[in-house]
Amino acid sequence: MLLLGGTGEARRLALALTEAGGFDVVYSLAGRVREPRVPPSCRVRIGGFGGPAGLAEHLRCERIDAVVDATHPFAARMTASAATAAAATGVPLLVLRRPGWLAQPGDDWRRVPSLPALTDLIDRFVPLRRGAATDPGPRVFLTTGRSDLALFAGLHRPWFLARCVEPPTGPLPPRLEVILDRGPFDVAGETALLRRHAIDVLVTKDSGGAMTAAKLTAARDLGLPVLMIDRPPPPSGFPVVSDIAPATRWLTDLATSRHAGAGSVAGAVTARTPPVP
């Protein structure tokens, strides 16, 4: 099976399948990070496939029986590509998406439908805690990733603190400080960071998961607003699960039906794609 990875869930699924036994897993990464975290126990391939057509070709050439898309909830191009290639080849596809975050009492979240919509919102953002006379714009903690920084390159009023795993390249906002770090983060550290930089507003994608959730607790404790970018919808027509256990069951059922089926492997698997437990 081909496991499209780059997330903690993908690594945990790879480990679960190794423990279950009987799966030949290839773990796939885009190649964005110099020292990626990879599961210890399966083959790893790195780099894009060349769009949906390239991925469809890969599925046929490598005789892939099933694909699990366990990429980040905002990796929309890879997800769309997997859906198109799966539809074209008939290879079963399961989407594994961790749940999004939910606001709790005391949170001051403003939902933003997309990254481009955010630019205007940040540019017009008026900080509550400091007078406009002393500072021209808000102090923004951006946790959206380095590839999205170019979106804010034209904004001269806000000051940005951006946290990324790798150094950003390309156009950058003029008032920017970058810190290189990767999760997991804790509440004490996030609170100290927000205080140290006198942050007015936190900007985050609705990535979900525990690894990077501490910033939300810290923002709540400090009474800071959060601009929460909505995730893109999952592809329609494919099963979606939010955890490792149902993904493992889906694959086990698929393998069982494959061994029980007759005729060509791809045909048998396609005809017997199990529903999500």
> Is residue 116 a contact point for ligand NAP (CB under 6 A)?
no
User: 16 in helix, strand or coil?
Assistant: helix
Q: Which two tokens stand for residue 18?
A: 């190794």
> Is residue 29 a contact point for ligand NAP (CB under 6 A)?
yes
- Residues 218-237 within binding reach of ligand NAP (CB under 6 A): none
- Interface with ligand NAP (CB under 6 A), residue total 24
- Residues 144-183 within binding reach of ligand NAP (CB under 6 A): 145
Give φ, ψ of 105 to 5 degrees. Answer: -55, 135
User: 229 in helix, strand or coil?
Assistant: strand
* Binding-site member from 1, 4, 247, 254 for ligand NAP (CB under 6 A): 4
Beta carbons within 8 Å of 171's beta carbon, 6+ residues apart: 149, 150, 153
Query: What residue type is assigned to position 62 of the chain?
Result: E
In 3D space, the residue among 4, 16, 24 whose CA is nearest the CA of residue 255 turns out to be: 24
* Binding-site member from 1, 5, 42, 219 for ligand NAP (CB under 6 A): 5
> Is residue 267 a contact point for ligand NAP (CB under 6 A)?
no
* Rounded Cα gap, residues 146 and 168, in angstroms: 5
* Binding-site member from 12, 60, 77, 258 for ligand NAP (CB under 6 A): 77
The burial class, CB within 10 Å (0-12 / 13-18 / 19+), for 169 is exposed
* Binding-site member from 74, 109, 152, 159 for ligand NAP (CB under 6 A): 74
Whole-number minimum distance, CB 9 to ligand NAP, in Å? 10
> Is residue 143 a contact point for ligand NAP (CB under 6 A)?
no
Q: Which two tokens stand for residue 248?
A: 């493992």
Name the one residue in this structure whose structure tokens are 């997330």: 7
> Is residue 184 a contact point for ligand NAP (CB under 6 A)?
no
Tell me whether residue 6 or residue 158 sits nearer to ligand NAP (CB atom). Answer: 6
> Is residue 7 a contact point for ligand NAP (CB under 6 A)?
yes
Residues lying near ligand NAP in the complex (CB under 6 A) are found at: 4-7, 28-30, 32, 48-51, 54-55, 71-72, 74-78, 81, 145, 205
